[in-house]
Amino acid sequence: MSDSIKRREVIAAATQRLREGGVASPEYDAAELLAHVLGTGRAQLVLVDEVAADRADAFEQLVARRAAREPLQHLTGVAHFRHVELAVGPGVFVPRPETELLAGWAIEALRQAQGPGSVPAGPGSVPAGPDAEPVEAPVVVDLCTGSGAIAKAIKDEVPAASVHAVELSEDAYPWAERNLAGAGIDLRQGDMATAFTDLDGAVDVVVCNPPYIPLEAWESVAAEARDHDPHLALFSGQDGLDAIRVLERRAAQLLRLGGVVGFEHADEQGELAPAIFSATGRWTDVRDHQDLAGRPRFVTARLAR
């Protein structure tokens, strides 16, 4: 083998192999993996003409694993979420880009809760409810935090917020602990159904990306998730709504009057998920939101009583 190989040839061959393996974004993933192997950023790859043989060999090994549908983030060890970087790997759910919209909603809701003089709210902000009083340090609870993605993004963009997060999984918790270390976030290990009883009635925003895939949908789940994400973070009963039912009850206990909750759901649950909240009579402003692809993605609601 020669001492080096043309970057374009290396990328082209990898892209083809990933495409044949059924990877949804072969060009992007090939570039990310090569940048990772070279210790640079994807945008800087245009400055690379030749790839040394040993780096090309290491790259080919990662490409083979990705073609076998091992998650890209497991191979690089990093996931990007809004403006923060997270360490991820086996045992923890890899945060998805669509969840950034839910995190953005929570961030705007917290800015609104800070009241006058806080950072101006952007599109999709939550108007203060008639019973909500402005507070200096708004309180947010992130249930089912997983890697800590939502909690870390919130603290990054609303530093004044009092951020609390909980994770049940013994495998995922160390990842959250690593990602949230030194961020000033109250992280606990436990069940969302009973977490933070010391905050009951004092929370401004509850946010959650719960498990929501029906057990019967096993075969339709992408290989990257089905074979590598923890099943505790994916599946939630026969209809996929068990965790959301628990969330409705717990959020009603945690929130102050006029506080808000937001949670993600499957795109097939655009009517079923909001209905769980509407049916109890405890909530107003129950609304479903679409993701950037126009699919139902997350629900928000305000505690009325």
Alpha carbons 34 and 53: distance in angstroms, whole number:
13
Alpha carbons 149 and 87: distance in angstroms, whole number:
10
- The per-residue DSSP string of 94-161 comes to PPPTTHHHHHHHHHHHHHHHT-TTSPPP-TT--PPPTTPPP-SS-EEEEES-TTTHHHHHHHHH-TTS
- DSSP 8-state class, residue 213: B
- Considering the domain architecture, whether residues 146 and 287 belong to the same structural domain is answered as yes
Sheet holding 139-143, edge to edge: 186-189, 162-167, 139-143, 203-208, 255-264, 296-303, 283-290
- Considering the domain architecture, whether residues 23 and 166 belong to the same structural domain is answered as no
Amino acid in position 284: T
CATH of the domain at 28: 1.10.8
Whether the predicted pLDDT of 146 surpasses 50: yes
Cβ-based neighbours of 268, under 8 Å, separated by 6 or more:
296
- Considering the domain architecture, whether residues 127 and 246 belong to the same structural domain is answered as yes
- DSSP 8-state class, residue 220: G
- Considering the domain architecture, whether residues 122 and 63 belong to the same structural domain is answered as no
- Considering the domain architecture, whether residues 63 and 96 belong to the same structural domain is answered as no
Residue 83 lies in a domain: no
Query: What confidence tier does 237 reach under pLDDT thresholds 50, 70, 90?
Result: low
Secondary structure element (H or E) that encloses residue 188, with its range: strand 186-189
Query: What confidence tier does 184 reach under pLDDT thresholds 50, 70, 90?
Result: very high
Residue 81 lies in a domain: no
Residue 37 lies in a domain: yes
Alpha carbons 40 and 259: distance in angstroms, whole number:
44
Alpha carbons 220 and 46: distance in angstroms, whole number:
37
- Considering the domain architecture, whether residues 224 and 96 belong to the same structural domain is answered as yes
Residue 13 lies in a domain: yes
Q: CB-based burial of residue 134 (10 Å sphere; 0-12 exposed, 13-18 middle, 19+ buried)?
A: middle
- Considering the domain architecture, whether residues 60 and 96 belong to the same structural domain is answered as no
For CA atoms 237, 240, 244, 245, give the dihedral sign: negative
Residue 86 lies in a domain: no
- Considering the domain architecture, whether residues 26 and 163 belong to the same structural domain is answered as no
- Considering the domain architecture, whether residues 107 and 188 belong to the same structural domain is answered as yes
Whether the predicted pLDDT of 221 surpasses 50: yes
Which whole number is the average pLDDT over 195-210?
Answer: 97
Question: Which of 169, 145, 167, 269 has its CA nearest to residue 217?
Answer: 269
From 12, 36, 68, give the residue that closes a domain.
Answer: 68
CATH of the domain at 148: 3.40.50.150
Domain count, the chain: 2
Residue 115 lies in a domain: yes
Region for 173 from its dihedrals, namely left if φ exceeds 0, alpha if ψ lies in -120 to 50, beta otherwise: alpha
Please tell me which residue, 243 or 231, carries the higher pLDDT value: 243
Q: What is the span of the domain harbouring residue 40?
A: 4-68
- Considering the domain architecture, whether residues 138 and 247 belong to the same structural domain is answered as yes
- Considering the domain architecture, whether residues 281 and 209 belong to the same structural domain is answered as yes
Residue 76 lies in a domain: no
From 20, 35, 68, give the residue that closes a domain.
Answer: 68
CB distance 145 to 93 below 8 Å: no
Residue 78 lies in a domain: no
pTM assigned to the model: 0.84
Query: Which tens digits make up the pLDDT trace of 33-54?
Result: 999 999 998 889 988 889 999 9
Query: Which tens digits make up the pLDDT trace of 52-76?
Result: 999 999 999 999 999 999 999 999 9
- Considering the domain architecture, whether residues 95 and 64 belong to the same structural domain is answered as no
- 3-class DSSP state of 210: coil
